[in-house]
Amino acid sequence: MTKRVIIAGITGSMGQKCADLIESLTDFELAGVIAPDLTADCPAAKKLSSETKLFIDLKDLTLAADIWLDFTTPQAVFNNTKFALEHHYRPIIGTSGLTETQISKLQEIAAKEQMGGIIVPNFGLSAVLLMKFVQMAAQYFPDAEVIEMHHEDKLDAPSGTAAATAQLIAKSRLEKPLAPAAHVAARGADYEGVKVHSVRLPGYVAHEEVLFGGPGEALTIRQDSFDRASFMQGVKVALEHVSELSELVVGLDKIL
Ligand SMILES: NC(=O)C1=CN([C@@H]2O[C@H](COP(=O)(O)OP(=O)(O)OC[C@H]3O[C@@H](n4cnc5c(N)ncnc54)[C@H](OP(=O)(O)O)[C@@H]3O)[C@@H](O)[C@H]2O)C=CC1
Ligand SMILES: O=C(O)C1=N[C@H](C(=O)O)C[C@H](O)C1
């Protein structure tokens, strides 16, 4: 049966790419889209089928749909996900910026509503694998720092991927790091004792490097998204499998 999808953030870079993806898939249709400045004559709306409903505010959104695909902003994502769960749209959340406390709260709501869904810090396969590999490395190299590099339009820092990577390193370490955690700006932000450095430059898309250091040796793990196309296979997998989830999970590896 065809699954009906709502895209939140349709006027953005990822929202646009996801609309094209859904258009190309036979088992999915774009039932509705939402963005605060959306108008019927804006370029994002003009490309859509006349069947797709346009919304600018959650309070007006009443629609029969199966899936909520969110690429909005760190400010909007918590309320959007809550709304999706409470209206029984299965959330696929690509937007960065959810804190651990917010994720726990959303997982509680999902359990109460008996809804499954997925929060994906990064849909790129190279980033999913990087996050697997860093967990292994952190068991042997407790000293690690993360450098994330993104395009100049990225609003938030550090990236959701870097925050998730730092948390995975912190959880996987078996010993305390040796390096002192000096709290000065030049040493980066501190995520559970893992330093994270954010770079914003034109020409970049989305990149992450994790440096591990030990006595007399070092290990570097790096991934690069050179194009947003790198995220679309992961979005497709999430669309295909989100309905199999019975809780709100974090990470694309949960359904790969
Ligand atoms: N998980 C992953 O693999 C990836 C995640 N991302 C994340 O996705 C998010 C979006 O990225 P990107 O598309 O590049 O960003 P953009 O800034 O291009 O798009 C964000 C869009 O969200 C819209 N928006 C803002 N508030 C709301 C709201 N309350 N409801 C609906 N729409 C809203 C904005 O509209 P307006 O401009 O009118 O405010 C804008 O169109 C970011 O958090 C980014 O980090 C990005 C790439 C991959
Ligand atoms: O804003 C982006 O571009 C990206 N955001 C996500 C993040 O914050 O980690 C995923 C990817 O890095 C691209």
- Three-class DSSP category at 47: coil
Q: What is the pLDDT of residue 175?
A: 93
Binding-site members for NAD(+) are 9-14, 94-96, 120-123
pLDDT at 249 over 70: yes
In order of their start, the domains of the chain are: 3-119+229-254 (3.40.50.720), 125-225 (3.30.360.10)
Ligand 1 neighbours by CB, cut-off 6 Å? 8-9, 11-15, 34-37, 71-74, 76, 94-97, 120-123, 160, 231
Question: Beta partners for 147?
Answer: 197, 209
Q: Whose CA is nearest to atom 12 of ligand 2?
A: 206
Phi, psi angle pair for 93, to nearest 5°: -110, 110
Which of 34, 61, 71, 83 best tests ligand 1's pocket when mutated (most atoms within 8 Å of CB)? 71
Q: How far apart are the first and last CA of the chain?
A: 22
Per-residue pLDDT band for 181 (boundaries 50, 70, 90) equals low
- What's the pLDDT at 217? 98
For residue 22, how many C-alpha atoms fall within 13 Å in the half-sphere facing its CB? 28
Q: Longest Cα pair distance anywhere in the chain, in angstroms?
A: 63
Q: Which ligand is nearest to the CA of 164?
A: 2
Tokens read off for 151: 């395009």
Which percentage of the chain shows pLDDT scores above 90? 94
Ligand 2 pocket test, candidate residues 71, 75, 122, most atoms within 8 A of CB: 122
Q: Whose CA is nearest to atom 14 of ligand 1?
A: 13
By annotation, the residues acting in catalysis are 150, 154
The answer on pLDDT for 14 being more than 80 is yes
Q: Which of 206, 191, 200, 205 is nearest to 138 (CA)?
A: 191
Helices (H), 92-198: 100-113, 125-138, 160-172
User: Where does ligand 2 bind, in terms of residues with CB under 6 Å?
Assistant: 96, 121-122, 150, 154, 159-161, 206
- Averaged pLDDT, 62-83: 97
**What is the structure's pLDDT at 17?**
97
pLDDT digits (tens, 9 = 90+) for 189-209: 998 889 999 999 999 999 999
Q: Give the tokens for residue 94.
A: 């690509």
pLDDT of residue 179: 78
pTM of the model: 0.97
- The alpha carbon dihedral of 221, 253, 189, 191 has a sign of negative
What letter would DSSP give residue 2? P
Residue among 221, 156, 164 at smallest CA distance from 191: 164
- Residue 219: how many other CB atoms lie within 10 Å: 15
Query: What atom in ligand 2 is closest to the CA of residue 208?
Result: 12
Contact (Cβ atoms closer than 8 angstroms) between residue 190 and residue 163 = no
Q: What is the DSSP code (8-state) at residue 42?
A: S
- Helix (H) or strand (E) holding 77, with range, is helix 77-86
Whole-number Å distance between alpha carbons of 170 and 251:
16
| Four-point Cα dihedral 146, 255, 107, 195, nearest 10 | 0
